[in-house]
Structure 1
Amino acid sequence: MTDSHTLSPTAPDHIPTGVPGLDAVLKGGLLPKAVYIIQGGPGEGKTILANQICYAWAAGGERSLYVTLLAETHHRLLRHLQNMSFMDNRFAGTSVVYESAFDTLRTEGLEGILRYLTRNGKRQSASLIVIDGLFALEENAASERAFREFINDLSIYADVVGCTILLLTNSKRDSGCPEFTMVDGWFQLGSDEDKFRTYRYLQVHKFRGSDFIGGRHMSTITSDGFRVFPRLEAVTGELDSAPMRDERLSTGVARLDEIIEGGVPYSSTTLLVGPTGVGKTTLGLSFICESSEAEPGLVFGFYEDAHRLRRRANALGLGLGELIDSGVVEILHHTPTELLQDQLAEEILEAIRRRGVKRLFIDGVDAFKQAAVNEQRLGRFISTLTAILRCEGVTTIFTAELAEIVGGDTGLQFAAVSAIAENIVLLRYAELESRLYRTLAILKMRESGFDPYVYEFHLGAEGFRLGERMQRTEGVVTGQPHRLPPVGRRDA
């Protein structure tokens, strides 16, 4: 980063930015002796992103020079950054120095700015220089050629001195303009609308000297600063499968375990599908309540928080509260509002790896569809997530509430997750002779036999109880149940 660092044979090829998710997109971070353009409109986060990098580098012992070419005072800039958690006042004015070159640009032009950077960068021993206001240099250049020569001189300066330079601009100039062809990297910050919500994104258009993950990656700005959520399917790469085990995990319902030959297979994914209120969550909680210190559990839900799940489990005779209090089970709850699907996946995987989770219950996989900016990604996203879970040795149960399970001649219709769910359990209501029944049928079970019958089940103080198979009925799975006539009757 400084001369002694960059010339060292042990120096890293990439320098971490300290911005969550960005280094994954850049496959390691920024490169030394390079010039990067960060482009975006007003309010897209350029200033926050650049400052976050400065303070991350300061925490690692490096020094930065933040140069503004605008009339905005540094006092105002710093005031807006005070609420950011990355902002460490110990470094402001020491390891991160703010200076204005507004007057220099106005009186001495682009050549004066280059002399200014050479003089002040050396005085500060800066390994990182931020120039906030590249568009001001464009406007003050005598010609397009003069601006092109300035960018070239800046690149030579970065290479000779051994520093990294970030150029921030809100210009709408495109890839045909000389600055984008001459710099080492070009990052775009933007925002777009999906019906009623606005979402942010980061896209790397160019990153010379290194591979990177292209396309749009969703991002957020919070009090913690700028964060990038790389597309899950793009950053996962090759996965090593978990060791195969001839092992079954109990569903928590003894009779159900019997009809699927001992429980759900280890590290498999099971989809519980059915209408609202039929008992999907209760069955999922029964599975989670089989967790132990050797098999920690995690409930990731969208519709019921920990307090409501405790109350429900208590009414069903399940010891969920004790498992939560002992730390064997963790509850993570999100309202299905404006979260991003990659953000949700990151939180799930972080919790799994933090606690070594082996039993996972995701209550409401449909919320991933609500969180998707582009629904065309949903199949690839779910497929990647479940593949990661299998490789982590996690046995997962999802619930899915579908708008239409039966639709005339179209038959059974499931969400994208059904294509990669190894086990599918259908829970339905059936009305027979003016009585409402709850029914369960196994539609699919990975590498396992199962009873191909429809069973009645009950919910109550004893939890989820599976009864006997239903007799002399047809059409329960198709949603058009009816009693068969007694044997020998001809008026059926």
Structure 2
Amino acid sequence: MSETDTHVPPGPARVPTGVPGLDAVLEGGLLPRAVYIVQGGPGEGKTILANQICYSWAARGERSLYVTLLAETHHRLLRHLQNMAFMDNRHAGTSVTYESAFDILRTDGLEGVLRYLSRNGKRQQASLIVIDGLFALEENAHSERAFREFINDLSVYADVVGCTILLLTNSKRDSGSPEFTMVDGWLQLGSEEDYSRTYRYLQVRKFRGSGFVAGRHMTAISNAGFRVFPRLEAVTGELESAEMRDQRLSTGAAGLDAIIEGGIPYSSTTLLVGPTGVGKTTLGLSFICQSTVEEPGLVFGFYEDEHRLRRRADALGLELGALIDKGVVGVVHHSPTEFLQDELAEEIIETVRRHGARRLFIDGVDAFKQASVDSQRLGRFLSTLTAILRCEGVTTVFTAELAEIVGGQHGLQFTAVSAIAENIILLRYAELESRLYRTLAILKMRESGFDPYVYEFHLDARGFRLGERMKGTEGVITGRPHRPSPAGEGNE
């Protein structure tokens, strides 16, 4: 066959698990006729995950058989699952059947369990079989060889019958153990502590016949069930750039547009950086209040809820409340608690798409750092998030606190987002001759000229207003302003 005649056959069809985020990690779902181990310690979520898959399959018309090798009763198991949103009692006992092979294992051993699975799986016409308690089979095997033979026979059964099998275990055996080398896939659930914080994760250790997204992915368990948050930078893939426009978007701040050649460039990322209370949120609200029905806006904040934002805007003469009431501007607020950064990113992207937002104001990008489990990821994560927003045609404004307010040889230090921000506006306090000034300077503007001067600005009932260019002073940017001495005089 010549090179031009080569044909790569399509990969095997996937069976979606129905677990949010997991199918993205598995690049589509599980493979049929395969055996998978789900490993994790007590309380890591193995039972919830397996049941959620069962009920997701039941909603598609598939049948599942859930077999326990433990002494726990099914009544107790189902009682613990009742508060889960995926739990549909219409399927319990019909499309999802629960049975115990605990006594059969004790009396007839591994061979008896295999006969039991073959008989009941056929009777239930199950396309999914869950075996909860693989470690019990290990303990009851007469030898390591007998256990290997059981796993092999189980794989043959899955292939012949055409069903998918999940083996749940809390065993701490590692990849050198025979069960892990013989099965088609291995999903590991775990949790770790970061000082006072505990976080959960899922990692695919093995997945035959397919690619998958390697590494750890954060997970969460709630009344909604089990959810996986794939690492944003690992699952985004190639992005289509938004249509380029020469359009400028007004900041809404009197005088500011004039010094940046008409406004913020379309579909760019702007960082408002400065100390607390200097006016970053006010400037961000001025930007978002320029939203229209054709180009809606979204505020995603961590420190002020909708009620407080409305009050702040009213005091500044901004019509934020009216825009919210008309549905032109949406507001999402989260207290900076123990959210995961990928969880926040998913919500931002989903809300932007649902609302059709074209202006986005994220008040408190520092919250992403607080939500980060691996701080080394932060730069890649923010770069991916902003790239997605640009491709959606969204013009984004972030706020960030100054990491350090110092001058001299240390200079100014910004957060990781400054490296990927296309525009940077610095807001500072400056004390000069016993008076406190608010100052603004443009440090960076994408593909655009700007005035390279420091300006005073004001916050009052007329909003954010740019004042006069500061003259006769030096060191404002460093936070150490002073008036230079007249020519010929010392600076003592």
TM-score category (smaller protein): over 0.9
Aligned to 1:5: none
2:43 & 2:290 partners in 1: Cα distance? 49
Cα distance in 2 for residues equivalent to 1:361 and 1:12: 43
Show structure 2 runs of 5+ residues with no match.
1-8
Distance (whole Å) between structure 1 residues aligned to residue 193 and residue 11 of structure 2: 42
- Percent identity reads 83
Verify the 8 A CA contact 1:274 1:427 in the aligned structure 2.
yes
Task: Indicate whether 1:450 and 2:450 are aligned.
Answer: yes
Amino acid at match of 2:411: G
The equivalent residue for 1:136 is 136
Correspondence for 1:88:
88
Alpha-carbon contact 2:407-2:480 (below 8 Å) kept = no
Correspondence for 1:490: 489
* Cα distance in structure 2, aligned partners of 1:118 and 1:375: 49
| 1:19-65 CA distance string (max 9 Å, x none) | 00000000000000000000000000000000000000000000000
Mapped partners of 2:99, 2:430: distance in 1: 73
1:183-231 alpha-carbon deviations (Å, 9 max, x no partner): 0000000000111100000000001011100100000000000000000
Q: Aligned pair count?
A: 483
CA contact under 8 A between 1:68 and 1:131: conserved in structure 2? yes
Unaligned runs of 5+ in 1: 1-8
Q: Is the 8 A contact 1:21 1:228 kept in 2?
A: yes
1:342-370, Cα deviation, whole Å (9 max, x unpaired): 00000000001112110000000011000
Q: Is 1:24 aligned to residue 24 of structure 2?
A: yes
TM-score of the superposition, structure 1-length normalised? 0.97
Letter in 2 for 1:490: E
Contact 1:440 1:454 in 2 (8 A): yes
1:411 aligns with 2:411: yes
Partner of 1:318: 318
Q: Which runs of 4+ in 1 moved over 2 A?
A: 9-12, 405-408, 488-492
- 1:475 Cα offset (Å): 0.5
Conserved 8 A contact 2:403-2:414 = no
| 1:54 equivalenced with 2:54 (yes/no) | yes
CA contact (8 A) 2:403 2:413 kept: no
- In the other structure, the counterpart of 2:6 is none
Question: Superposed, which structure 2 residues align to 1:115-264 within 5 Å?
Answer: 115-264=115-264
CA displacement 1:155-185 (0-9 Å, x = unmatched): 0000000000000000000000000000000
Aligned partners of 2:407 and 2:479 also within 8 Å:
no
**Residue in structure 2 matched with residue 270 of structure 1 by the alignment:** 270
Cα-to-partner distance string for 1:290-315 (whole Å, 9 max, x where unaligned): 00111111111111111100100011
Aligned to 2:4: none
The amino acid across from 2:489 in the alignment is R
Q: Answer yes or no: is the 8 Å Cα contact 1:40–1:170 preserved in 2.
A: yes
Q: Distance in 1 between matches of 2:51 and 2:109?
A: 25
Distance in 1 separating the partners of 2:405 and 2:162 = 62
Give, as a single letter, the amino acid of the residue that structure 1 aligns with 2:241: S
CA distance in 1, matches of 2:357, 2:407: 38
Q: Is the 8 A contact 1:405 1:414 kept in 2?
A: no
| Native 8 Å contact 2:330 2:355 kept in 1 | no
**TM-score normalised per structure 2:** 0.97
Cα distance in 2 for partners of 1:303, 1:241 equals: 32
Taking only aligned residues, the RMSD between alpha carbons, in angstroms, comes to 1.3
Question: CA separation in 1, counterparts of 2:10 and 2:385?
Answer: 36
| Structure 1 SS opposite 2:255 | helix
Q: Give 2:261's aligned amino acid.
A: E
In the other structure, the counterpart of 2:105 is 105
> 1:407: Cα distance to partner?
4.5
Match of 1:69 in 2: 69
